[in-house]
Amino acid sequence: QAGDGVPAAQKSSWTAFVKSIASVSGDLSSLTAPPFILSPVSLTEYPSYWCEHPGLFAKIADAKDDESRALAVLNWFISTLKGQYTSRNESMGSEKKPLNPVLGELFYGFWADKDGRGKTSLLVEQVSHHPPITAYVIENQSKGLRLVGHNAQKTSFSAGSIIVKQIGHAVLTYTPPTGTPVEYLLTFPRLRIDGIWYGSPYIELAETSYVSGGGFVSTVDYKGKGYFSGKSHSFKATVAPVMGTGVGEARYTIEGTWHTTSKITKSSGKVAAKGDEFHNVESGAYGKKEEVSVGDVATMEDFETRKLWGAVAKGIKTGDFDTASKEKSTIENDQRQRRKDEQAAGKTWPLKHFKLVENHPTCTSSLLFVFFVVLRVCFVFRVRVNASGLECAYTRLVLLFISRPHTLVPVPITDAIFLFADERLG
């Protein structure tokens, strides 16, 4: 029944919140929500979901050829979805509203070396507050793997659900011991947050996301439970070469539900190996999720997430919402003052690890658009394009166009950004 998940005393404030979602479209982050739906975790911590299976991430470096590497990247990507999109339901009973990071908020962490997989480091910075944009770097230096990405969201309300369009993308770079680096472009699925009526929100994924690079493109289609059939959290992925023999033809098809298991079918050649397990959240490397390790709060700087939000988080966790909201106001007032002072001084907040760069000057973008269309046509109609560098251009162009809605992209300032993080974490 409607409102079942809402504590009796918060029913009216939940209704007010839902109404405000319906009217204020775009950015939900600054809306005031009733206490029961608040999470004590800041959005700057979410990029750690990308590496809760550090072994699967490291394995990308072990692939022998482009084809198996494309599968390894897809495998790691799929393995992150359960954590990204269902873990709050598991740990807190429903999807929750994360703390809205302040400008310049920082989150550092790592996953220790184990079984020769190498150490993986995480660095996150909130690079914009209005709209909220979170940028991150995840790196396993010993394996030559580096993921750089940024996230923003555009929300709307439709048929009782919140629709979240993810803006941003991530680029995974694999640098082999010898030879040239390979780049994989990752895009993110669309979210539908259901269960709003009942006060127990949960996420379903929709539409399509891509992993493109190393000569292959993986297309992941997401489907939820239909009215009459289908399972929730279903997906179907295909892996196809972007040039050469069989361009655009799926070599592999993977089907299943991302929060449980999936199977892979090989479609190239005469022999089809059917029914092999692709991923299984219960077994082997998938079964053991490893949360990120962070340093001691006592040694943190003021703007590091767990220190900054410490008192707010404690209030939310212990049910002391008065303290939580008082502490939250203190942080917000401090932010407002900083912005005022900066404006008066004609300065802006200096980001620590990223700089914002213009993504696509209009003139080049329209030229490149033509090029992109030509390549896309080649791909769809399976025309062989074999020129070197074309595929790289293809990936870059996809990137250019999917990231169109925002013009500013955060890029890491230096290659030595982990020195600071490592210093903090010892």
Q: Could you give the 3-state DSSP secondary structure of residue 174?
A: strand
Q: Count residues binding ligand CLR (CB under 6 A).
A: 17
Is 137 or 164 the residue whose CB approaches ligand CLR more closely?
164
| Binding of ligand CLR by 161 (CB under 6 A) | no
Alpha carbons 17 and 125: distance in angstroms, whole number: 28
Minimum CB distance to ligand CLR, residue 166 (Å): 5
Q: What phi, psi does 377 have (nearest 5°)?
A: -65, -45
| Binding of ligand CLR by 153 (CB under 6 A) | yes
Lookup: tokens for 265: 């079918």
| Binding of ligand CLR by 164 (CB under 6 A) | yes
Contact with ligand CLR (CB under 6 A): which of 6, 28, 72, 237? 28
Query: At how many degrees (to 10) do helices 362-380 and 390-402 cross?
Result: 120
Minimum CB distance to ligand CLR, residue 61 (Å): 23
Contact with ligand CLR (CB under 6 A): which of 120, 151, 262, 305? 151
55: how many CB neighbours lie within 10 A of its CB?
A: 21
Map the footprint of ligand CLR across residues 32-91, applying CB under 6 A. Answer: 37, 46, 49, 84-85
CB-based closest residue to ligand CLR: 97
CA neighbours within 13 Å on the CB side: how many for 408?
13
Contact with ligand CLR (CB under 6 A): which of 95, 105, 183, 204? 95
Q: Measure the CA dihedral 82/85/87/93, to 10°.
A: -130
Is 37 or 122 the residue whose CB approaches ligand CLR more closely?
37
- Which parts of 60-198 fold into alpha helices (H)? 66-92
Minimum CB distance to ligand CLR, residue 361 (Å): 28
Alpha carbons 239 and 336: distance in angstroms, whole number: 48
Please state whether the peptide bond connecting residue 131 to the residue before it is cis, i.e. omega within 30 degrees of 0.
Answer: yes
Contact between 199 and 5 under an 8 Å Cβ cutoff? The reply is: yes
Minimum CB distance to ligand CLR, residue 51 (Å): 12
Interface residues with ligand CLR (CB under 6 A)?
A: 28-29, 37, 46, 49, 84-85, 95-98, 151, 153, 164, 166, 193, 201
